A and B are shown apart, each in its own frame.
Chain A
Amino acid sequence: MSAGAVMDRVRVLRSKNAGPYALTFDIVLRDQADFERIAAGLKAEKVASAYRIPVENVLGTGRIDELSAFKISIMRRVPAGHVGDSDCYGMNQEQPLTRLVIRLLEGDT
Chain B
Amino acid sequence: MTSVTVITPTGCIGNRGIDADVFRQVIESEQPDVIAVDAGSADCGPWYLGSGRAHSPRRNIEWDISVLLDHAVSRGIPVIIGSAGGSGTRAHVDATVETISRLARQRNLKFRMAAIYADVDPDYILAKQQGGQIAGASRSPDGAGLLAADVRTSDTIVGLMGVGPMIDALDAGAAVVVAGRAVDAAVIASRPVQLGLDIGLSYHMGDIMECAESCAEEIAPTLRSRGRNRIPIIGRITENAFELRPGLDTLACSPESCLMHSAYERTDLSTIKVPEGLVDRSKARYERVDANTTRVSGSRFVPEPHSILFEGVRKIGYRSVFAFGVRTPGIIAQLPEILREVDAIEQGLFGSEGSFRIHWHQYGRQAVLGPAEFASGAYEVGVLADVVADTQDLAHDVAYDLLTRIGFWRYPGRYTTAGNIAVTLSPAVLDGGPVYEFSIYHSMPVADYREIFRTEIVEVQ
Name A residues whose Cβ lies closer than 8 Å to a Cβ of B.
12, 16-22, 24, 26, 28, 50-53, 59-60, 62-64, 66-67, 69, 71, 73, 75, 77-89, 92-93, 95-96, 99
Question: B263 an interface residue at 8 Å Cβ cutoff?
Answer: yes
**Assembled-state Cα–Cα distance A75/B144 (Å):** 12
Contact B269 A52 (CB under 8 A): no
Q: Which of B246-278 contact A (CB under 8 A)?
A: 255-256, 259-260, 262-270
Q: Shortest Cβ distance from A49 into chain B, in angstroms?
A: 10
Residues in A whose Cβ lies below 8 Å from that of B262: 64
Question: B342 an interface residue at 8 Å Cβ cutoff?
Answer: no
- Interface size of B in residues (CB-CB distance below 8 Å): 42
Contact B141 A73 (CB under 8 A): yes
Known: A19-B141, A28-B260, A83-B357. A88 touches B266 (CB 8 A): no
Known: A21-B142, A81-B47. A52 touches B265 (CB 8 A): no
Known: A12-B260, A71-B267, A81-B45. A96 touches B142 (CB 8 A): no
Contact A95 B43 (CB under 8 A): no
Residues in A whose Cβ lies below 8 Å from that of B374: 95-96, 99
Q: Which of B2-10, B120-128, B433-441 is the interface stretch? A: B433-441
Contact A59 B267 (CB under 8 A): yes
Known: A52-B371, A69-B259. A86 touches B437 (CB 8 A): no
Contact A83 B372 (CB under 8 A): no
Residues in A whose Cβ lies below 8 Å from that of B47: 81
**Assembled-state Cα–Cα distance A85/B47 (Å):** 13
Q: Shortest Cβ distance from B362 into chain A, in angstroms?
A: 10
Question: B423 an interface residue at 8 Å Cβ cutoff?
Answer: no
Name B residues whose Cβ lies closer than 8 Å to a Cβ of A.
42-47, 139-142, 255-256, 259-260, 262-270, 286, 316, 357, 359, 361, 367-372, 374, 386, 388, 435-438, 441
Closest to A12 in B: B260
Say which residue of A17, A60, A67, A81 sits within 8 Å of B256 (CB atoms): A67
Contact A62 B259 (CB under 8 A): no
Contact A83 B437 (CB under 8 A): yes
Residues in A whose Cβ lies below 8 Å from that of B44: 81, 88-89
Closest to B438 in A: A20
Say which residue of B264, B357, B359, B369 sits within 8 Å of A16 (CB atoms): B264
Residues in A whose Cβ lies below 8 Å from that of B361: 86
Contact B141 A59 (CB under 8 A): yes
Can you name 16 extra interface pairs (CB under 8 A) apart from A81-B47, A83-B357? A16-B265, A21-B142, A21-B441, A51-B372, A62-B268, A66-B256, A66-B286, A75-B142, A78-B370, A80-B42, A80-B43, A81-B436, A82-B46, A83-B435, A84-B386, A96-B372
**Assembled-state Cα–Cα distance A85/B436 (Å):** 13
Residues in A whose Cβ lies below 8 Å from that of B286: 66
Q: Shortest Cβ distance from A16 into chain B, in angstroms?
A: 5
Contact B386 A22 (CB under 8 A): no
Say which residue of B46, B259, B370, B435 sits within 8 Å of A20 (CB atoms): B46
Residues in A whose Cβ lies below 8 Å from that of B140: 19, 21-22
Contact B437 A79 (CB under 8 A): yes
Complex A-B: 24 CB contacts under 8 Å: A12-B260, A16-B265, A18-B267, A20-B46, A21-B140, A21-B141, A22-B267, A59-B267, A60-B267, A60-B268, A62-B263, A64-B259, A79-B438, A80-B45, A81-B437, A82-B437, A83-B359, A83-B388, A86-B361, A86-B370, A88-B44, A92-B368, A95-B374, A96-B374
Known: A52-B371, A83-B386. A21 touches B139 (CB 8 A): yes
Residues in B whose Cβ lies below 8 Å from that of A80: 42-43, 45-46, 438
Q: Give the residue among B43, B255, B260 with the most A Cβ atoms within 10 A.
A: B43
Q: Shortest Cβ distance from B36 into chain A, in angstroms?
A: 22
Residues in B whose Cβ lies below 8 Å from that of A78: 370
Say which residue of A20, A64, A93 sits within 8 Å of B441 (CB atoms): A20
Residues in A whose Cβ lies below 8 Å from that of B367: 86
**Assembled-state Cα–Cα distance A24/B361 (Å):** 23
8 smallest beta-carbon distances between A and B, as pairs? A81-B45, A62-B269, A73-B267, A51-B372, A88-B45, A84-B359, A82-B437, A18-B267
Closest to A75 in B: B142
Contact A22 B46 (CB under 8 A): no
Closest to B319 in A: A83
**Assembled-state Cα–Cα distance A106/B255 (Å):** 30
Contact B359 A59 (CB under 8 A): no
Contact B368 A18 (CB under 8 A): no
